[in-house]
Amino acid sequence: MLIDPGVAAVDVIRVVGAVYLVYLAISSFRAAARSDGLDPPQARPEPGRARRIFGRASLTNLANPKVIAFYLAFFPQFIDPARGNVTAQFFALGALFIVVGLGVDASAGLLAGPLGDFVRRRPAVQRWLHRLSGTVFAALAVRLATDTR
């Protein structure tokens, strides 16, 4: 019986992924079991470093082939050559997508600081979040390990 190398590679990746998820689950449960439950405070990066991080993240996102593939697969269904310049329609849809995405991302960014401060001040909330994430990681590990597609 011959084993298909592609199937074997997928199985190895699946098992390694499941083991990693189990590791993350155990780490989360251990963090929840700590007596104080407090995560160490994180220092805010200095302004110059924050700009470099933002620039690097922007470049990474712009170079992401999945984003380009999404636009190329999603936008054509909304483009109608009978309504005018196709390139202009692509740019208009792209600009609309960016404005909507910016609103969502900016809201998440603005809420992240106060929400993070809230969680850091409450050990019970931290323990609950660690337990929740540990449970999710464990469930995903079981799902991945038992997937036989």
Chain segment 93-117, per-residue pLDDT in tens:
889 988 998 999 899 989 988 998 8
> Distance between CA atoms of 79 and 74, rounded to whole angstroms?
10
pLDDT at 119: 87
Which pTM value belongs to this model? Answer: 0.57
CB neighbours (10 Å) of residue 141? 19
**Can you list the pairs that 33-37 forms with residues at least 24 positions away whose Cβ atoms lie under 8 Å?**
36/123, 37/123, 37/124, 37/126, 37/127, 37/130
What are the two backbone dihedrals, phi and then psi, of residue 39, each rounded to the nearest 5 degrees? Answer: -80, 145
- Residue 64 pLDDT level (bands cut at 50, 70, 90): confident
> What is the separation, in whole angstroms, between the first and last Cα of the chain?
19
**pLDDT (mean) for 118-144:** 92
Does residue 45 register a pLDDT over 70?
no
Chain segment 113-130, per-residue pLDDT in tens:
899 888 888 888 999 999
Does residue 40 register a pLDDT over 80?
no
User: DSSP character for 37?
Assistant: -
